[in-house]
Amino acid sequence: MATVLQQLKTLLESRDLMQQELEELRDVKDVAQDMAELVEIQKGNEDEPLTLAGRLRKKYPKASKGMSPQPPDSMWDMYLGW
């Protein structure tokens, strides 16, 4: 009887770990889907000049508040501290 209870406990622990892993994988899948949508060029928007950084700022405005400004137009600007 004790062996059966130990096996049941082991199975329950394994199930809980697998459930946690499944939830983490779903989160990763959601983030991957968001990233795929950001880099996908929608039909009719082929001429839109929005960069990936611009798309990220557009989709996640709160997260992008701490992002650095646009990169310099030239190396000279970079040396001057833009």
Q: From CA 11, how far away is CA 7, in angstroms rounded?
A: 6
Q: Give pLDDT tens digits for 3-50.
A: 999 999 999 999 999 999 999 999 999 988 888 877 766 666 656 656
First to last CA, the chain: 74
pTM confidence score: 0.47
pLDDT at 22: 96
Q: Residue 5 has which token pair?
A: 């209870």
DSSP per position, 18-63:
HHHHHHHHHHHHHHHHHHHHHHS--TT-TT----HHHHHHHH-TTG
Q: From CA 2, how far away is CA 46, in angstroms rounded?
A: 66
- Specify the higher pLDDT residue, 75 or 35: 35
